[in-house]
């Protein structure tokens, strides 16, 4: 990022929920810039507060979405203005939600978004 933006980005977003990307987001932020944590972390991480202090980076979080933002997103997807197909990694039946859904998302790093087909039964 600093090769493209030599002074660092004004704002960076941590969206992966793992320690390396948390540290990278801070490192990619310009002095007195802001790092926003958007992701949900599966487990606690640790960091050296001096990484923030040395550059004066502000660290903040966000609520995942508001009711209005969620509705706007649903509307955009419904209208075909956002193509969600590239992020869908699997489609499963409701009966398989634990093994093929939750367990798969926590153990298989290639999974991103798994759709549950409510019309399909095993």
pLDDT tens profile 78-101: 999 988 888 888 888 888 888 888
Q: Does pLDDT of 33 surpass 70? A: yes
| Strands laid side by side in the 29-37 sheet | 9-14, 29-37, 58-61
**Same domain, yes or no: 74 and 55:** no
**Same domain, yes or no: 78 and 113:** yes
Its domain, for residue 113, covers 70-117
**Same domain, yes or no: 37 and 74:** no
Residue 41 belongs to a domain with what CATH number? Answer: 3.40.50.720
Percent of the chain beyond pLDDT 70?
96
Percent of the chain beyond pLDDT 90?
33
DSSP 101: I
The residue-averaged pLDDT of 98-119 equals 83
Q: Domain boundary at 43, 61, 79, which?
A: 61
Residue 4 lies in a domain: no
**Same domain, yes or no: 15 and 57:** yes
**Bridge partner list, 60:** 36
Q: 29 in helix, strand or coil?
A: strand
> What's the pLDDT at 34?
95
Distance CA 81, CA 5 (A): 30
- Count of domains for the chain: 2
Q: Does pLDDT of 39 surpass 90? A: no
Longest dimension (CA), the chain: 56
The residue-averaged pLDDT of 50-70 equals 83
Model pTM?
0.57
Residue 20 lies in a domain: yes
């Amino acid at each position: 990022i600093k090769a493209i933006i030599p002074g660092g980005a004004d704002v960076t977003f941590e969206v992966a929920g793992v320690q390396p990307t948390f540290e990278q987001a801070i490192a990619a932020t310009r002095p007195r810039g802001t790092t926003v944590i958007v992701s949900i972390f599966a487990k606690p991480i640790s960091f050296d507060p001096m990484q923030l202090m040395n550059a004066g980076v502000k660290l903040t979080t966000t609520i995942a979405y508001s009711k209005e933002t969620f509705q706007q997103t649903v509307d955009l997807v419904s209208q075909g203005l956002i193509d969600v197909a590239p992020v869908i990694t699997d489609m499963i039946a409701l009966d398989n939600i634990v093994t093929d859904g939750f367990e798969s998302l926590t153990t298989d790093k290639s999974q991103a978004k798994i759709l549950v087909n409510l019309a399909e039964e095993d």
